[in-house]
Amino acid sequence: MSLNSRFNTELAGVLEQLRAERVYKRLNYIDSPQSSHVQMEGRGDVLILSSNNYLGLSDEPSVIDAGHEALDKYGAGTGSVRFICGTFTIHRQLEQALARFVGTESSMSYVSCWNANEGLTATIVEEGDFVISDALNHASIIDSIRLAKAITKCTTAVYRHSDMDDLRAKLAANRGARRKLIWTDGVFSMEGDVARLPEILEIAREHDAVVAMDDSHASGVLGKTGRGTAEHHGVFGEVDIITSTLGKALGGAAGGFTAGSAALSDYLTQRSRPQLFSNALPPTVAGSSLAAVRFIETHPERVTRLHENARYFRSAITEAGFTPLAGDTPIVPIIVGETSLAMQISDMMLDEGIFVTGFGYPVVPHGHARIRCQVSAAHTRADLDVAVKSFQKVGRKVGLLK
Ligand SMILES: *Cc1c(COP(=O)(O)O)cnc(C)c1O
């Protein structure tokens, strides 16, 4: 028995309450690579409609081979942080490839995009600066800004989701700030909508602000060649700072990066605390991610297939009687209302052999719980048809459909 049993009893009490509210998250153990289907412990073959493996690269042979090769060449890990002795040549290759891919001069890798975001804001602002963030930005951006505020005493504000007038007004009200930073997601993960990037860039120009965009759900996903939100909007190369993850379309392992000017990367090397005090990206992951970027650069047809699958699923699920949130991304959320209903639908879909996650409070507001479908290039049309049929069956059972 551990020393403080009251502590553990208190935790157990909270867990009990989550179960009673039917918002308790169960972990599903998977015993195969991420692909269109997986082997799920206790359930066998399951169709996945909830993965960020947008391009199907997490089990792509060239991506796996590159991980093996890096393991053989560099060993298990860096054994250190970047500046002490944890920088391998494969980090430089990866960072150059990522910069080229997202249209910046340079990039820095981190062990996660969470770390990249957390290591950015507090590093580039100080007291007297102003940071403004979209209301639906990812938790890692929110925490990054909270940390920056606590450390530097910078001023912060949140603008209503994609409300350009609100963004403009709040920047105008903080005209006197020394440095102004606008933070946005490229694709908002719960809604599946795309940031109004051209307008954000325009407003940034008007107010002499810096734009930082987290493209985690857009890298490899949006734009004709998968280069993200900027390519999608025809403003490739214009964003000051792009952060993104290597844990979604770009191989799906883990890791993240911050891309921008050479000066920014060097500055992060000198000052960003997760760079200074936490180990570098493992070489296996760097190798796989590099191969994933190269794969996307040489296989634009894989990105095209993702776009076609997303369009197909959206129209099929709409025809089946559901009204998903509108959008141009492979994230197709179906709003169902209460959190417990979302969880129930998710459970019933799993009984049909389809893994699709329900999201409720506090991830999304009360009454806006949803089933978030994510389409992948790995899906066949037959997979998507099966998913739609099962949704119809479950939708009728719970009374969402007639
Ligand atoms: C998934 C995600 C992250 C976290 O990425 P990790 O590399 O897993 O830490 C950060 N930002 C956004 C917008 C995301 O969607």
> Catalytic site residue 180?
no
Say if pTM beats, i.e. exceeds, 0.85.
yes
The domains of the chain are located at 24-53+300-398, 62-298
283 lines ligand 1 (CB under 6 A): no
Residue 347 neighbours by CB distance under 10 Å:
13
Q: Position 388: which residue type? A: V
pLDDT for the residue numbered 22: 79
Residue 75 has pLDDT above 70, yes or no: yes
Pocket test for ligand 1, best of 110, 134, 138, 161 (most atoms within 8 A of CB): 138
For residue 365, pLDDT over 90 is answered with no
Q: Is the CB of 252 under 6 A from ligand 1?
A: no
Hey, which residues does 256 pair with through a beta bridge?
Answer: 110, 245
Q: Does the Cβ of 138 fall within 6 Å of ligand 1?
A: yes
From the list 91, 170, 217, 299, the catalytic residue is 217
Q: How far is the CA of 184 from the centre of ligand 1 (A)?
A: 13
**pLDDT over 90 (residue 364):** no
pLDDT (mean) for 154-170: 98
- For the stretch 268-325, pLDDT in tens is 999 999 999 999 999 999 999 999 999 999 999 999 999 999 999 999 999 999 999 9
319 Cα: distance to centroid of ligand 1 (angstroms): 32
In CATH terms, 24-53+300-398 corresponds, of 3.40.50.300, 3.90.1150.10, 3.40.50.10540, 3.40.190.10, to 3.90.1150.10
Q: Using pLDDT thresholds of 50, 70 and 90, give the confidence band for residue 361.
A: confident
pLDDT, tens digit (0-9, with 9 covering 90-100), for 192-227: 999 999 999 999 999 999 999 999 999 999 999 999
**Percent of the chain clearing pLDDT 90 (strictly above):** 93
Decide: 300 and 49 in contact? Cβ < 8 Å: no
The yes-or-no answer on residue 248 being catalytic is: yes
pLDDT of residue 202: 98
CB of residue 216 inside a 6 A radius of ligand 1? yes
How high is the pLDDT of residue 327? 92
Question: Residue 340: which of 289, 258, 398, 284 has the closest Cα?
Answer: 398
Res 2: pLDDT? 72
At residue 192, the pLDDT reads: 96
Mean pLDDT score of the chain: 96
Q: State residue 402's pLDDT score.
A: 84
**CA–centroid distance, residue 65 to ligand 1 (Å):** 25
The catalytic residue among 133, 189, 219, 346 is 189
Q: SS in 3 state form for the chain? A: CCCCHHHHHHHHHHHHHHHHCCCCCCCCCECCCCCCEEEECCCEEEEECCCCCCCCHHHCHHHHHHHHHHHHHHCCCCCCEHHHHHCCHHHHHHHHHHHHHHCCCEEEEECEHHHHHHCCHHHHCCCCCEEEEECCCCHHHHHHHHHHHHHHCCEEEEECCCCHHHHHHHHHHCCCCCCEEEEEECEECCCCEECCHHHHHHHHHHHCEEEEEECCCCCCCCCCCCCCHHHHHCCCCCCCEEEEECCCCCCCCCEEEEEECHHHHHHHHHHCHHHHHCECCCHHHHHHHHHHHHHHHHCHHHHHHHHHHHHHHHHHHHHCCCCCCCCCCCEEEEEEECHHHHHHHHHHHHHCCEECEEECCCCCCCCCEEEEEECCCCCCHHHHHHHHHHHHHHHHHCCCCC
Q: What is the pLDDT of residue 3?
A: 80
Q: Above 90 in pLDDT, residue 110?
A: yes
Which one from 233, 248, 307, 368 is the annotated catalytic residue? 248
254 CA → ligand 1 middle, Å: 9
pLDDT of 54 over the 90 cut:
yes
Q: Given the CA of residue 138, which atom of ligand 1 is nearest to it?
A: 13
Tokens of 402: 């007639």
Q: Is the peptide bond before 365 cis (omega within 30 degrees of 0)?
A: no
List CB contacts of 104: < 8 A, sequence separation 6 or more. 237, 239, 242, 259, 260, 261
Mutate-to-test residue for ligand 1 from 110, 114, 222, highest number of ligand atoms within 8 A of CB: 114
Asked whether 112 lines ligand 1 (CB < 6 A), one says yes
Using the mean position of ligand 1's atoms as its centre, give its distance from the Cα of residue 245 in Å: 6
Task: Provide the CATH topology of domain 62-298.
Answer: Aspartate Aminotransferase; domain 2 (3.40.640)
Q: What is the pLDDT of residue 23?
A: 78
Does residue 113 line the site of ligand 1, with CB under 6 A?
yes
Q: Ligand 1, from 120, 121, 189, 216: best to mutate by most atoms within 8 Å of Cβ?
A: 216
Q: How far is the CA of 183 from the centre of ligand 1 (A)?
A: 14
Q: 215 CB under 6 A from ligand 1?
A: no
Q: For ligand 1, is residue 114 a contact (CB within 6 Å)?
A: yes
Task: Answer yes or no: are the C-beta atoms of 263 and 104 closer than 8 Å.
Answer: no
Alpha carbon distance 215, 227 (integer Å)? 9
Cβ of 247 below 6 Å from ligand 1: yes
Which tens digit of pLDDT belongs to each residue from 321-355?
999 999 999 999 999 998 889 999 999 999 999 99
Checking if the pLDDT of 1 tops 70, the result is no
In percent, how much of the chain has pLDDT > 70? 100
Residue 217 Cα distances to 51, 316, 341, 374, angstroms = 11, 22, 26, 11
